[in-house]
Amino acid sequence: MVSRPSVISELIKIRAERKFQEVAVAICEGLTPQHMEDMAQHKLSLAELLQQTGYKIPKVSVFARPGVDHLARLSDNDILVLLEQVVPENVAVLRRHPDFCRGVIRDLKAFVKG
């Protein structure tokens, strides 16, 4: 018999993805695509990006662990799709700079894990 994900499990995933998108929007408020383009050319990390914008990653609650685990398991492309829904201009920059993109996604996943 094929097991189906529970409704609660699916809600946790959706909530985690929405929270991730909210954080992405907050980070990108102070980060124009041109600014990101410059940072990509200088090979800056996400931590340096955050320092430039002044954004602080919120602490992850222990209760958020199932959602965090879901986000950490997503592929780079799935992460880009989530980001593209809320900050498409910034994702366009990431897509033009694959190495920078991989670094940003790797750092995002590390920050998500706490």
User: How sure is the predictor about 104, in pLDDT bands with cuts at 50, 70 and 90?
Assistant: confident
Name, of 10-14, 16-20, 32-36, 92-96, the range with top average pLDDT. Answer: 92-96
User: What are the boundaries of each domain within the chain?
Assistant: 7-113
Angle at 75 between CA 21 and CA 1, to 5 degrees: 105
Residue 49 structure tokens:
């990006």
pLDDT in tens, 32-48: 888 888 888 888 887 77
Share of the chain above pLDDT 70, in %: 83
- For residue 75, what pLDDT is reported? 94
* Mean predicted lDDT score pLDDT of the chain: 83
Report d(CA 7, CA 61) in Å as an integer. 21
pTM: 0.80
Other CB atoms closer than 10 Å to residue 20's CB: what's the count?
21
